[in-house]
Chain A
């Protein structure tokens, strides 16, 4: 029992305390014997000091941390015990041996510590706890003598102890690692991490495990370890270590094409700033721990080993931090890896951000050259061509001789193709070929040039480029393409005879060539162009026989066959060929051509029904075709010509009903507008020659609803909105603007923006804006630009948001939004509003030159003549008054007078112009003219209630009081 107590507390209460308790009676004489014992230790042969007294002195030495002196005494006692003496009562030999082993360990006498602990473990009397303590010392002592392989089984055995399990696992892993037994080390760490609490020790073990997994190329396991560490980031001390491992793991993963895993790893890497900041906090934490440990002196092997290793770890971390502090470009390698990995995963926006930062902060690092290429590609792939071009220019400026520049030009040209920016594409190709004629990419770029010119209709240049390719790269990868392109360029240059020869040469050179079918068709087309109809007819018939029915060019061939038949005057055959073409695959351009040709020939034959049926069939069979709207137009026109208006409306309604519940189908509004045009027509004359009364709005509403809705869609919000819209269009065509506005307002009041299609969002937003309901208007505009930014109606949203910002005095935002209406949405509907909006916003910001330019543009555009002109002329006058000076004021006066003379019907602007005119007269000192102007304004009843009229009244009263009765004001204003 005593032994058990002793051993179980051994590690928590240092042995010296236990010795003190057991040997208390001997302390009384300790003082007398101290010197003697010391001497006795040196001359033991002569003086046999009793063992208890030596033990008490050993304890004293331990307390004084004189471990060397203490161990000498303890070894002396052990020698005497082994020689036959017995230890004092209450002191067990097992405990004593353990104490010696511990102390020897602390003195770094690892061999002796190992020897003593081994001796202890061989004793049959040793209890389990002491055995575990001894095993621990033995294991550590072995490891510290580099006997790692011997230490591994010792720690493995120790894992059976609940007290030592975690420590044993950790030390086994470390010993195994050093012994080259990596799987054993991994196994131990895995066991350790399963159950240990997530503290700094755990985190360090996890870090080691990740390192080993990496070493063993177990990348999935390493990734899991890293994820686990990220989730327990606060526990980790060695952040510099985490950074290194994360980079290594990321590199290993990207090398195996696992970009997703690599990104996860790289994103765990801390930037230099953050690493230094956090590591500094961690170092403080480690130093505190160390200080606490040192303050709590304990003689166990665990504690002393801990302190020693913590000191080493702290030192290593500090060295790493010092290195990182010195390395200003530490982040560059991280940014490059992240940028590259984002790019590989399609995160091109993120890649661009990273490459930009790298090039800005670390322009001179080795990675910068590749970063420029990455940046160009990132901008190219995200469709930001202006930025891409800017990046290329910067690349040229920074590294004019970089061999990677050719890649940048090539990538840029490809992006320009995708974005349909031909001018940029060709500039890049030309410069790329000029600068890098020897680059392997030059061949690609020459062919791209030829293709570009051909597509752009620059056939001369296409011919030249194709010819350059054929002569420069006669064995190039694309020689067949270039040969064919050259022949085709000849054809479209209007030299059919020459092209037939060139195409024949192509067919001879490449009898199984990729363009064989195309070449044969083009030869027939060339003969058609030469009006060799019979030859063309024969060649086309042969083509149709030789190539299978599923050949994608078959529709085009039939279409040309129709043309040939027209040339031969065989209209019915032509119609049959066009119908055959219509049943096959055609490009939109070809489809439109064939439909138009058929409509034309049917009309020539006065077969309106056949044409109308063709369009009706087409709309039914190809409901998603962009020509469905054309179908609606022709059905309406052809059936009207037959006097079948109701049939036309019915057919259009059938088409409209298919899409009416889908707000994203914005073409529906155009269809409904055409349908409304038919509904708004006055009724035909009756048999009595009298015209029946036009349908009432209620009847129109009923008709619209019956045509456009089905029982299941009647209450669907989008359908309701479109019904109102159609009624509003009819009302508008019947010049009933009150009803039109009322219906549009109902849409806004009854239908949520989410259910409205883009066209209606814009219109309803404008109604709200007109009524001053800015929040509701903003709701519509916001939804429009956020959900339909590519819509035909998107400019409604941007212009509306600009107007709202303008009214709120947020001129910066207003300018941005008006700009978006033009630059982003193309201002297809709101060019005037956007231009005028920018002009008035610039005026409010005091940017008079830019504002003047835009107002002049509006005032000078004939199509915009009206209120916008009045506003612009007035504003130009306002700009002049703001500049001041008599000459400017006189010019301003002319502008104001032009408003109230030439644009009288735009009352609000006339009122402003009168007032400003009067004020300008006053500034010029022409008070009588000013008074006359105010009076002239006040005589016009249209201005009653206008704030300008109140101001004019006030100024007139003041002027009347100032001017003497002897000098009456002119009866009319200055302008009059």
Chain B
């Protein structure tokens, strides 16, 4: 019977721990983002055709040309991508080189999008089946990756870029050797 009582106190303990966990998780903001596991890894080889006529396509070789870059994953059909457009422009004005991958997009839609919201991109690759997106562990649009000069992913920003993210991303670029 004493053994049974120890068992019961054990149950009380486990239950308390469980409720503690519940309480802790209730107090935590819910993190809905799925982070890429590719941070610190070299970007996998790819070669995307141009998404629009007036910008060249994008390949992994372009990302290992010695100069750190921002890689923006976007789409013309994505609403937050419109919201972040001014900040991408600002990043470009402040010296960042930005290349992009357009996800599941048609050339005319991308052109129209860039017409309205500006074009800070030096290269835009078209990823019609999300293959590159999957290969770098990106789970949605928009996302922005920092790539160092040798093609290694050093940082991932999930969601649209807000005003406060601009200096942060510039600093990350700096860290990556710009």
Q: Do A and B come from one complex?
A: no
